[in-house]
Amino acid sequence: MSMHEALVQAMHLPDDSDTVQRLHENGLAIASVDTMSQAIHDVYCGIIADHDHPNEKDRAQAEAMISALQKVATESPPA
């Protein structure tokens, strides 16, 4: 199941809903450790990488990034 399909299903949206597209247009992204590690690999390793797919370092960075995003998303804004 793609990330898009999982989000549509979790939000109980009809298959033809444009909600996910509107989220993307407004700068939001939904990521898992797998998609985040691929993004980190693509951005920071790029074409000069000595490996074709995300490695353990990319995955560890993805886990740390997701954890930090989750923390910030659940904190109360400063007073």
CB 41 within 8 A of CB 53: yes
- pLDDT tens-digit profile, the chain (79 residues): 777 788 888 889 898 888 888 988 999 888 899 999 999 999 988 878 788 889 999 999 999 999 999 998 888 777 6
Q: Is 73 exposed, middle or buried (0-12, 13-18, 19+ CB in 10 A)?
A: exposed
Q: Is the full-model pTM beyond 0.85?
A: no
In this predicted structure, what is the pLDDT of residue 6?
Answer: 83
Amino acid 79: pLDDT: 65
pLDDT digit string, tens, across residues 19-39: 888 988 999 888 899 999 999
